[in-house]
Amino acid sequence: MINEKEMTAPNVSVGADTEQSILKQTNNSITDNIKKSNDILEKLKEMDRLSGIESDPNHIYSMTMEDLFDIAYGTKPPIIENILTPGMYVITGTPKVGKSFLMAQIAYYVSTGMQLWNNCVTQGDVLYLALEDRYERLQQRLSTMFGYETSVNLHLAVKSGTLEKGLETQLQNFIYSHPKTQLIIIDTLKKINDIGRENCSYAKDYEVIDRLKNVADKNGICILVVHHTRKEKAEDIFEMISGTNGIYGAADGALVLWKENRTSTQAFLSISGRDFPDQKITLQRNPETLQWDYVACEVEKWEPPSDPLLELISNKLNGNIYLWEGSPTELTIFLNSDLKPNMLTKKLNINASILLNKYNIKYEYFRSHDGRRIKLERQTV
């Protein structure tokens, strides 16, 4: 709730674009409800239109570049900064290298929200399908690693369906019952893959990962699947992923846990993804907790170059002002920007994720009965 000291855009005349900035007050709840109702109706109309087009097998749905830039896609922070984002990931490693301990560690840290190896973590529910384990073994492993500090957000299962026998429905039902789900770990891929076992091909491997990716993308979560490496050595560590390149090609990212010496307590976690640079993290097995402790990282954390517009917005939404809402034209006036309103909107649409993840400011772009509106809100920690 905004107090009386909070400010918004100045009340100025803007010609045809006459909508005015909104200073949140307690007496605007009726207007807000009308706006929300209009937004819902517009979305329902658009869904009906698109569903009719997309259900027509003779039609390819497309949009212009102009339309694409007019959309502000919903953004979510990384699950684990620099390691996992919402999407589909595969982790591989030789047998007994310590993958299951690493999976338990990742699951526990995401469920509690604790930093992992100095990386921020987005807390939420975690489903860990430990399909090669028993509950007794999980109890011993987790108590050794984390003592008696349990997490109510970590859900464990040792049995599930396969891709051809209801797994996707099971995962969807779990997400529906636990709307704060951030991560699902499947250990291992072999246990749930019954698609074309007699015919190993790129197409089959791609289909397996793509079906899981559809679940992840639909719900804005991360699915992390455990797999094995092939016996043959390779110059590129990611070429050691067992199966065809369809597994790696369909995934949003891959992790490989490996050792230079099998008996060594030191290991390396090589990471490759679409949303961050490749890196290699050196880990050391803790002899007491059996957790993987951080030692070093070959690639420093990457930060996109600062954008003057985003920096300006961050500076403006400071002190007593943490919420601004108005038209694109009013925003250019509020920021004293030379950008045209439509160009300003496109730039913010494209950089919405940076605005949220780097500056902790949520950006919304929508239409109401007053026309196009922009909402900027600094998130409270």
- Nearest CA-CA partner of 12 in 345, 326, 226, 350: 326
What is the number of structural domains in the chain? 2
Domain boundary among 277, 297, 317: 297
Is residue 103 located within the same domain as residue 71? no
Is residue 166 located within the same domain as residue 290? yes
Q: Is residue 254 part of a domain?
A: yes
Is residue 240 located within the same domain as residue 101? yes
Residue 340: partners with Cβ closer than 8 Å, 6 or more residues away: 332
Q: How far apart are CA 51 and CA 46, in angstroms?
A: 8
Is residue 23 located within the same domain as residue 138? no
pLDDT of residue 204: 83
CA 76 to chain CA centroid, Å, is: 5
What is the spatial order of strands in the sheet that 279-285 belongs to?
Answer: 154-157, 125-130, 181-187, 222-228, 87-93, 253-258, 266-273, 279-285, 292-297
Helix, strand and coil content of the chain, in percent to the nearest 5, comes to 35, 20, 40
pLDDT of residue 21: 43
What is the spatial order of strands in the sheet that 361-368 belongs to?
Answer: 323-326, 371-378, 361-368
Is residue 281 located within the same domain as residue 313? no
Q: Is residue 41 part of a domain?
A: no
Q: Is residue 60 part of a domain?
A: no
pLDDT of residue 31: 42
Residue 245 is part of a domain; what is its CATH number?
3.40.50.300
Residue pLDDT tens, the chain, 381 long: 334 334 444 444 444 443 444 434 334 444 444 444 455 555 555 655 656 666 677 888 888 998 888 888 777 889 999 899 999 999 998 888 899 999 999 999 999 999 999 999 999 999 999 999 999 999 999 999 999 999 999 999 999 999 999 999 999 999 999 999 999 999 989 899 877 655 667 788 888 899 999 999 999 999 999 987 655 665 655 555 555 566 777 789 999 998 888 889 999 999 988 878 889 999 999 999 999 999 999 875 566 678 899 999 999 988 778 899 999 999 999 999 999 999 999 999 999 988 988 888 999 998 888 888 999 999 875
pLDDT of residue 322: 83
Its domain, for residue 355, covers 1-27+67-77+304-381
Is residue 215 located within the same domain as residue 309? no
Is residue 266 located within the same domain as residue 308? no
Place of tokens 């979510």: 76
Q: How many CA atoms, within 13 angstroms, populate the side-chain half-sphere of residue 323?
A: 12
Q: How far apart are CA 303 and CA 305, in angstroms?
A: 6
